[in-house]
A = this chain, B = another copy of it.
Amino acid sequence: MRLEVFPTVEAARPDHLAGRAVVAVDVLRATTTVVTALAHGARGVWPAGDPAAAEVLAAGLEPGSFLKGGERGSFRLPGYDLGNSPLEYVPALVAGKWLVLTTTNGTGTIRLASAGRLALAAALVNGRAVGAWVAKTGLEVSILCAGTRGEFSLDDVLCAGQVVDAVVETVDGDVDSSDLARAARQLYLANRDDLARALRDTHHGRRLCQLGFTADLEHAARADLYQVVPVYAGGVVTAGAPLSPPP
Contact = CB atoms under 8 A, between A and B. Distances in A.
Interface of A: 5, 7-8, 10-11, 148, 150-155, 157, 178-180, 182-183, 186-187, 190, 201-204
Per assembly, the copies of the chain total: 2
A178 to B, nearest CB: 7
Contacts of A152: 5, 7, 11, 178-180, 183
A151 B4 CA distance: 10
A106 to B, nearest CB: 17
A200 to B, nearest CB: 12
A41 to B, nearest CB: 34
Contacts of A201: 182
Nearest to A13: B150
Interface residue SS majority, chain A: helix
Contacts of A154: 179-180, 182-183
A213 B178 CA distance: 21
Contacts of A5: 152
A241 to B, nearest CB: 33
Nearest to A202: B179
A12 to B, nearest CB: 10
A157 B178 contact: no
A157 B151 CA distance: 15
Contacts of A155: 179
B178 A187 contact: no
A183 B179 contact: no
**Of listed A8, A148, A152, A190, residue having the most chain B CB within 10 A:** A152
Contacts of A183: 152, 154, 157, 183, 187
**Of listed A5, A148, A154, A202, residue having the most chain B CB within 10 A:** A154
A203 B190 contact: no
Contact of A7 (B7, B153, B182, B204): B7
A165 to B, nearest CB: 15
A164 to B, nearest CB: 13
Contacts of A190: 186, 190
Nearest to A4: B151
Contacts of A187: 183, 186-187
